[in-house]
Amino acid sequence: MTDATSTQVQLASRPTGWPTADNFSIVRVELDDLAPGEVRVVNDFISVDPYMRGRMNDVKSYTPPYVLGETMTGGAVGRVVASASDAVTVGDTVVHQLGWRDVAQGDAAGFRVVPQIPGVPSSAYLGVLGMTALTAYVGLLEIAHLREGDTVFVSGAAGAVGSMVGQIARLKGASRVIGSAGTAEKVALLTERYGFDAAFNYKDAPVMDQLAQAAPDGIDVYFDNVGGDHLEAALAAFNDGGRAALCGAISEYNETGPAAGPRNMANIVTRGLMLQGFTVGNYTQHFPAFMADMTEWLTAGKVVFDETVVDGIENSVEAFLGLMRGENTGKMVVRTTPQD
Ligand SMILES: NC(=O)c1ccc[n+]([C@@H]2O[C@H](COP(=O)([O-])OP(=O)(O)OC[C@H]3O[C@@H](n4cnc5c(N)ncnc54)[C@H](OP(=O)(O)O)[C@@H]3O)[C@@H](O)[C@H]2O)c1
């Protein structure tokens, strides 16, 4: 049978603060012959995502912690190379959760067959046609209840989720879209490529000051990917009746001390604000509407997307750390097929 050896990344020890390469081990696993109902998939791309940092801790959360000495899981897309299932055919492109490895094998029920779209790389199913863009869509429309004419602020704006938030906000009628990111190059991309009206580098000056300048008439919606000083700045900038979708707090994921909380929570009361957290897994019922909208926008050239591609399964830990350090623009993915 083809591709019987799988290179896989395991969590060897739990990180405190920033993970290092020593927290992981790379193993080669000989796969068993397929059992009835199983498929074998050569992954094209695996996803590295900020939420995986939380799974490296031994704490109860919405996704269970990674088990030490076991191969980690996460989003992946690949090609079926062997099938003992009637539901999946050799050659199919499939999206699934057996990432952090170059060859995956499991029950066919865990693999979703997706169309191969000419001119669109399969990695799109991990980003613009997948989890991160769905997160942007759901967060803006179902959690923050975006309305026409809203002024929207999004942090982490040049990342996988954030770059989609800005573009979807414009397409759904926002009057002004403001973004923050961590380099001058990313700030330029926000206004020049993703259609933001204003953008700033949060490392240049206090977020509170820069947001006040970018939003002289206040903000109505805040899409929070960062937490900490960004959330505090949004609470200060909110107009009455403002709404926040609390999507993530990446500024805290590698912190060992107490998280920095906003010092102006009373604004929630006095301005009648609504702040709601969410995890996208609870909103998958919106996937069909998202796919219909996103397919139309992509086809019409109304949405653009970027990916940062790291080559080689053996570099996937470095890709994950690079994501946490801000080395990606758009979706960070690891290409696991050998390149010539
Ligand atoms: N709720 C959900 O269901 C859900 C689903 C997906 C993602 N998320 C969350 O959404 C956020 C974005 O995820 P993503 O997949 O799109 O990742 P991403 O934005 O593509 O990548 C992470 C980015 O975070 C930025 N960053 C790192 N440390 C930071 C800090 N201290 N302050 C400000 N920015 C920092 C970096 O960009 P800079 O160069 O700009 O610093 C980095 O590129 C994360 O918080 C993630 O946990 C939530």
3-state secondary structure 103-162: EEEEEHHHCEEECCCCCCCHHHHHCCCCHHHHHHHHHHHHHCCCCCCCEEEECCCCEHHH
Ligand 1 centroid–CA 84 distance in Å is 39
Atom number, ligand 1, closest to the C-alpha of residue 132: 6
Domains in the chain: boundaries? 5-127+305-335, 131-281
User: How many other CB atoms are found less than 10 A from the CB of residue 19?
Assistant: 21
Q: Are 179 and 162 in contact (CB under 8 A)?
A: yes
Dump pLDDT digits (tens) for 223-271: 999 999 999 999 999 999 999 999 999 999 999 998 888 999 999 999 9
Protein fold of 131-281: Rossmann fold (3.40.50)
Ligand 1 pocket, Cβ-based, cut-off 6 angstroms = 49-51, 132, 135, 156, 158-162, 181-183, 186, 202, 225-226, 247-248, 250-251, 278-280, 323-324, 326, 328, 332
Protein fold of 5-127+305-335: Quinone Oxidoreductase; Chain A, domain 1 (3.90.180)
Which residue bears the tokens 């696991």?
336
Percent of the chain past pLDDT 90, that is, above it, reads 94
Q: What one-character-per-residue DSSP string does 179-192 give?
A: EEESSHHHHHHHHH
Strand pairing class (176-181; 198-201)? parallel
Indicate which residue's Cα is closest to atom 28 of ligand 1: 251
Which residue bears the tokens 């999004």?
154
Residue of 156, 105, 108 lying closest to 132 (CA atoms): 156
Ligand 1 centroid–CA 27 distance in Å is 28
Q: Are 148 and 279 in contact (CB under 8 A)?
A: no
Which of 140, 225, 328 has the most ligand 1 atoms within 8 A of CB, as the residue to mutate?
A: 225
- Assign 3-state DSSP to the chain and report helix, strand, coil percentages, each to 5: 30, 25, 40
Ligand 1 centroid–CA 326 distance in Å is 8
Dump pLDDT digits (tens) for 170-217: 999 999 999 999 999 999 999 999 999 999 999 999 999 999 999 999
